Structure 1
């Protein structure tokens, strides 16, 4: 190890993303010991085992306080610190206050005094900060982590805060900040308004599980990508972002959604129920992903659109009420130029059971063949019940989509292998013009190609 070039060793140490491991490694070599203080990044995670030891009467006196370790790492660094990432590991994030009854603050990582202590030391050189708090200790204490960071970290480009109740009192403008992630955060509408005002250069905004909002508004001129998962049921959501290109929005049942994004090309929308939801015309959309248990109604809220090329439909809880309303004809009546279509398992099952598919009247059949001729690729997730019904629907699709050339079918892994093999053989025999691709899928796992 000591014979390797110092520049290479330093590059390896920089990529470890674990300052605790780096501390242990420096004890194994004089070279590593000298280089360990020259890494510009500090990454520190409190593990579940460390947390338990800090609570045990037998070992708690032997455990250095977590906050103290961070300060020591900063004080011993011989180069400007550019990145600080501190937090608790995943196993601790699931703990709740009622289970632990923990009123201490040793892992309250967004505590104002602690944040100010390290930010005052390294703030000027920081480019990235990530703080993942311990919800058991932070949920009932309001934090000024954002105002403090805005006071000291003037060159910050990326900021991430998780599991905290935030205050924006005293927040200063951060014109350099390009990316902001807030995850499992308590925030009020007026706080979000303050973020719009103080982070004018934001290009990427991630709001994941942000609660407390009633009529939230995002108004950011430079925003290009946004992921917004709303944990409660706000009355309305407003997004005004003239340069926004990609939006992923997940919410329960908003009464109104207003999107002013003339350059939006990728939209992923997930709703539990559509309710009185309305969508204005989005003229630049190329890719659209719709997911809802009320998919049929949601689909009807979208105005006629000729720009969408890649369409994904998913409905985790399709019910029999929807079956008489939902069909491929309805889909292509709204999105006639879609060339690629991905269907979740619920949607595929619902389409198969639609009476208007294989038994459509002649006029409707001709109309379907006309408006579905642009479809070239289908990806579908199957839960095989009656294989004859599945084959009948596939035959119907092949007949109506005359230019279809690629069909990828993922079969649920619980399906009997003999049944799956029979389907594959029948499909390949039925149509040779199509490039057939096969895979398997199961909830919570990665898709696999056969």
Structure 2
């Protein structure tokens, strides 16, 4: 170990997230102990095992408090550019029982942060804090104000599982990436976030609560991942340079998306908004749509001839809701699609709405080359009939991947596979199985 080059030793030490492992390495080798002082990246997680030992009266006295270990480690380092501190995932599901007897793991506590942050703030470019929700959910933290007051060179900021105030928040013009995950935020319209982080290029708002009429208005934003956890009156995204958007929401009364350079969009909405304003996407190439009212949503969105890759999903697909969709309507709305992915609910609906219009789409779907579909096989004859219609209407199809639900009996699946391969042997068929919440399993392919 002592013969390894210092950069490699630093890389090894920087990947240790357990304080005990780091301590063992420092004790085992003088070289590692000396090299550890040159660490510029610190990543420490409180493990469930440490948490359990601290709660046990038999072992508590032998366990050094987690915060003490973190402060001691930082005090021994020369230059720190990246800090990541948090709790392991199993601790995120810990119960609220006996909170007073737990180790102090309130990591966005302003007093704790002010103990270590000022000493390393000048060199910091990245900070990540994943708090212990059991202790942080009922205590509002002004950690954002503390960070903005000390970290003038910060580029990347991530905070999870906390209740955050924006009082005292100062502008951070160098910050380009911000992630807030499972956070209660006292900034109901996102005015302070947009105003104090004007140069953000990456914004992730995942399960952020406390919002009323949130509006993201950032001129340099390139990527936005936003899952709206509650049901605000309105949601707006105004970003002239935005290239990638992933937006999940329930049903805001007003939804505005103004992003003319958008190239990739993943849009999941439970039900269509009362007022949907979407500017025309002249650069959009990849689109993923998911909704209970998928047909209504397709009718509302502006026609886009630029889309090459299209994925359609339907929430609660067992019960038909809203306007239906058919192969003909897809060809009108997306005439230049080359790759099409259809969730089980969408495929089933297309089967039900096989109409004369669908037989006339062959002049509009010459570009379609690749289809991936998820099947439940309620009626194998109906499925075979629709597959034949697709093949006749899309003459340039070369690759069809069909995933059959795992609950379908094997002889039915085999029957479909053999008939498809015999009907059109020139197609590259791929077969697989799927189940909700699990990874798809590919079982065979044929040319």
- After TM superposition, list the pairs within 5 Å mapping 1:327-338 onto structure 2: 327-338=326-337
Other structure's SS at 2:75 match: helix
Q: What does residue 430 of structure 1 align with?
A: 423
Question: Post-superposition shift, 1:445?
Answer: 2.1
Deviations along 1:145-169, one digit per CA (max 9) or x if unpaired, are: 1111111111111100001111111
Other structure's SS at 2:104 match: coil
TM-score by length of 2: 0.93
CA distance in 2, matches of 1:332, 1:175: 45
- After TM superposition, list the pairs within 5 Å mapping 1:293-332 onto structure 2: 293-322=292-321, 325-332=324-331
- Mark the CA change 1:371 to 1:96 in structure 2 (over 3 Å): closer, same or farther: farther
Other structure's SS at 2:296 match: helix
The answer to whether 1:42 aligns with 2:42 is yes
Q: What does residue 405 of structure 1 align with?
A: 398
Q: What does residue 225 of structure 2 align with?
A: 227
Q: What does residue 53 of structure 1 align with?
A: 53
Q: What does residue 63 of structure 1 align with?
A: 63
Query: Do 1:96 and 1:135's aligned partners in 2 also have CA atoms closer than 8 Å?
Result: no
The answer to whether 1:442 aligns with 2:435 is yes
Question: Post-superposition shift, 1:297?
Answer: 1.6
Q: What does residue 166 of structure 1 align with?
A: 164
Query: Do 1:410 and 1:441's aligned partners in 2 also have CA atoms closer than 8 Å?
Result: yes
Question: What value does the CA root-mean-square deviation take over the aligned residues?
Answer: 2.0
Q: What does residue 197 of structure 2 align with?
A: 199
CA distance in 2, matches of 1:184, 1:13: 30
Q: What does residue 26 of structure 2 align with?
A: 26
Query: Do 1:87 and 1:132's aligned partners in 2 also have CA atoms closer than 8 Å?
Result: yes
CA distance in 1, matches of 2:211, 2:41: 34
The answer to whether 1:247 aligns with 2:245 is yes
CA distance in 1, matches of 2:22, 2:227: 35
Other structure's SS at 1:187 match: strand
- Mark the CA change 1:422 to 1:115 in structure 2 (over 3 Å): closer, same or farther: same
- Mark the CA change 1:274 to 1:213 in structure 2 (over 3 Å): closer, same or farther: same
- Mark the CA change 1:103 to 1:291 in structure 2 (over 3 Å): closer, same or farther: farther
Give the alignment partner of residue 208 of structure 1, picking from 196, 206, 220.
Answer: 206
Query: Do 1:314 and 1:344's aligned partners in 2 also have CA atoms closer than 8 Å?
Result: yes
CA distance in 1, matches of 2:103, 2:299: 51
CA distance in 1, matches of 2:174, 2:101: 36
- Mark the CA change 1:103 to 1:174 in structure 2 (over 3 Å): closer, same or farther: farther
The answer to whether 1:267 aligns with 2:260 is no
Query: Do 2:370 and 2:398's aligned partners in 1 also have CA atoms closer than 8 Å?
Result: yes
Segments of structure 1 that go 5 or more residues without pairing to the other structure are none
Query: Do 2:189 and 2:211's aligned partners in 1 also have CA atoms closer than 8 Å?
Result: no
- Mark the CA change 1:109 to 1:371 in structure 2 (over 3 Å): closer, same or farther: same
Aligned residues: 442
TM-score by length of 1: 0.93
Question: Post-superposition shift, 1:258?
Answer: 0.9
- After TM superposition, list the pairs within 5 Å mapping 1:358-369 onto structure 2: 360-361=355-356, 364-369=357-362
Query: Do 2:304 and 2:334's aligned partners in 1 also have CA atoms closer than 8 Å?
Result: yes
CA distance in 1, matches of 2:208, 2:410: 44
Query: Do 1:102 and 1:136's aligned partners in 2 also have CA atoms closer than 8 Å?
Result: no
Q: What does residue 238 of structure 1 align with?
A: 236
CA distance in 2, matches of 1:346, 1:35: 57
- Mark the CA change 1:283 to 1:430 in structure 2 (over 3 Å): closer, same or farther: same
Deviations along 1:360-410, one digit per CA (max 9) or x if unpaired, are: 33xx24532222333221111122333222212111111111221211112
Give the alignment partner of residue 127 of structure 2, picking from 109, 129, 133.
Answer: 129
CA distance in 2, matches of 1:285, 1:271: 19
Q: What does residue 11 of structure 2 align with?
A: 11
CA distance in 2, matches of 1:334, 1:322: 20
